[in-house]
Amino acid sequence: MFLALLFLSFVHLPACNAQNVEPFIFLRDYVGLKEDQIAAIRNGKAIAKVVESRTPDEVFVFGSVYVRSTPEKYLKLASDIDELRKLPSYLAIRKFNDPPQLSDLDGFSLWMRTTSSN
């Protein structure tokens, strides 16, 4: 199965006439988000949507979140793996090799780990 993730973070976009500017045209016309979903993104809610694929063995997931920051500050944080590890919302993070290798996913799991005090 092929899994593709597209995640967009929008950094402080102009509020005026937001429905007719990029990236909102893209969100509406190409991703297929409805106006209420686009408004939710502008209000700080993260949105995810499974996007139609060419074949049944492909899965495409689109995600978006609005970030109140400058592009420079956001990119600096997003590329600092050590700082991201300190954030409570990051369960795990690791940098892939160039080129990526299967071993980059060692220890990666889609299942949430739980601990028991018993």
Pairing of strands 58-67, 47-51: antiparallel
Task: Give me the residue spans of the domains in the chain.
Answer: 2-105
**pTM to 2 decimals?**
0.55
How high is the pLDDT of residue 10? 54
How high is the pLDDT of residue 9? 52
pLDDT > 80? residue 117: no
Q: What is the pLDDT of residues 62-110, one digit of tens each?
A: 898 888 888 899 889 888 988 988 988 887 788 888 999 999 888 877 7
Give the largest Cα separation in the chain, rounded: 56
- 112 pLDDT band, cuts 50/70/90, is low
CA separation for the pair 82, 64 (Å, rounded): 23
